[in-house]
Amino acid sequence: METIFTERHRLRNSKTELFGGQLVEPFERPSRAEYIIGRVREVDLGPVSEPDDYGMDPILAIHDADFIAFLQGAWSDWQSAGFEGEAMPTVWPARRMSQKIPTNIEGRLGYYALACETTISEGTWEAAYASAQVALTGAQRLNDGAKSVFSLCRPPGHHAAIDMYGGYCFVNNAAVAAQHLLDTGAKRIAILDVDFHHGNGTQDIFDARDDVLFISLHGDPMDAFPHFLGHADETGNGNGDGFTINYPMPPNTDFKTWREALQRALAQIADYAPDKLIISLGVDTFESDPISFFKLKSEDFTTYGADIATLNLPTLFVMEGGYDIAEISVNTINVLQGFES
Ligand code: Q9C
Ligand code: ZN
């Protein structure tokens, strides 16, 4: 399997994340991608290629233009305001408040953030842009006939909505890739999100559409980030009614239970008969992930990679989360090798 990767992910290198009331080193750090690309090369998964540049249009086909302009300017605006730390919001348009977009950077951060753990710093936009190009290049490889591709995206994307960032995500890489496939001939795309966290951004983007089936397996939002989306009764709206499917699962869910949900999801994808499949591949379902509560073991990732392959669909794997530094590379590549086995 070919991997799409760029060192430009390193431009996303914030020093701080707000966690447990303290500023800590971000869990979503450059070494994650270095471990994973190291393992790709160690097991000789296949060729590693640089992304092509598809420009801004495919990003603006998903995201609000003012939101993207905000991301592009946020670090510079924050510095101009005279702040010394990394950019984070402290105020939100909460219930019954005005939704007018402020001009001031502190107001704009609050307007466009869905969470405040994710700071914006120098290079954040450039890395997010490059990450989207990694996803787009992988999608185009499927158009060119590849059976499967691994887009080693960093930063991740599935929490980013039309006009919101947070949860370590800025541009929704999987959604941008899905739209590219639809704009280049596909009629239906399925996105299966196996990251521990609910893919709230992807769900929101395709909420009212029937040309993308979105299915997510995740920690129950009653207990897990992002807390405010991902319940089982969210099934899509309007034309999209029935094309969002959520499998929230409780703390300590093991592979047996998780795999039952996966098998149901795979059957639903088969019924939908998509032209192509995108996997939002987070490996934070691992038993010792530092911020998650599922109990998958390393060999389970191989098993479920093989399960996904039974769909026999052109498949784009888009990297999302996974934070246990020692093991994420093994678990990620186990999925890809299981798929190819
Ligand atoms: N106590 C992704 O996996 N903070 N994002 C969780 C847990 C945010 C995860 C705090 C987690 C975001 C792409
Ligand atoms: Zn996650």
Instruction: Band the pLDDT of 325: cuts 50, 70, 90.
Output: confident
Tell me: pLDDT of 305 over 90. yes
ipTM of the prediction: 0.98
Q: Which of 14, 118, 168, 173 to mutate to test the pocket of ligand 1 (most atoms within 8 A of CB)?
A: 168
Section 138-150 average pLDDT: 99
Report, in this order, helix, strand and coil percent for the chain, each rounded to 5.
Answer: 40, 15, 45
- Does residue 284's CB lie within 6 angstroms of at least one atom of ligand 1? yes
Instruction: Band the pLDDT of 22: cuts 50, 70, 90.
Output: very high
Q: What pLDDT does 326 receive? A: 87
Active site residues: 159
Minimal-distance CA residue to ligand 1 atom 1: 291
Q: Rounded to the nearest whole angstrom, what is the distance from the C-alpha of residue 224 to the centroid of ligand 2?
A: 10
Section 206-223 average pLDDT: 99
Q: In terms of DSSP H, where are the helices of the chain?
A: 30-42, 57-60, 65-80, 105-112, 124-143, 173-183, 200-205, 255-272, 298-309, 328-340
- Does residue 248's CB lie within 6 angstroms of at least one atom of ligand 1? no
| Residue 322, helix vs strand vs coil | coil
Cis geometry, peptide bond prior to residue 226 (ω within 30 degrees of 0):
yes
- Two tokens at 312? 């026999």
Minimal-distance CA residue to ligand 1 atom 5: 167
Q: What is the CA radius of gyration of the chain?
A: 18
* pLDDT tens digits for range 227-266: 999 999 999 999 999 999 999 999 999 999 999 999 999 9
Minimal-distance CA residue to ligand 1 atom 3: 321
- Does residue 201's CB lie within 6 angstroms of at least one atom of ligand 1? no
Rounded (10°) angle between helices 298-309 and 328-340: 30
Mean pLDDT of the chain: 98
Q: Rounded to the nearest whole angstrom, what is the distance from the C-alpha of residue 54 to the centroid of ligand 2?
A: 26
Q: What pLDDT does 136 receive? A: 99
Whether the Cβ atoms of residue 101 and residue 108 lie closer than 8 Å to each other: yes
pLDDT above 90 covers a percentage of the chain that reads 99
Amino acid at 76: S
Considering only CA atoms, which of 318, 322, 319, 320 is closest in space to residue 291?
A: 322
Contacts of residue 306, defined as CB under 8 A and 6 or more positions apart, other chains included, come to 338, 339, 341
- Does residue 169's CB lie within 6 angstroms of at least one atom of ligand 1? yes
Q: Which secondary-structure segment (H or E) carries 115?
A: none
pLDDT above 70 covers a percentage of the chain that reads 100
Q: What pLDDT does 175 receive? A: 99
2-15+27-64+124-340 maps to CATH 3.40.800.20: yes
The closest ligand to the CA of 27 turns out to be 1
Q: Rounded to the nearest whole angstrom, what is the distance from the C-alpha of residue 146 to the centroid of ligand 1?
A: 32
- Two tokens at 314? 């052109």
- Ligand 1 atom index nearest CA of 284: 3
Section 331-336 average pLDDT: 98
Query: Where exactly are the structural domains of the chain?
Result: 2-15+27-64+124-340
- Ligand 1 atom index nearest CA of 118: 8
Considering only CA atoms, which of 272, 63, 253, 84 is closest in space to residue 169?
A: 63
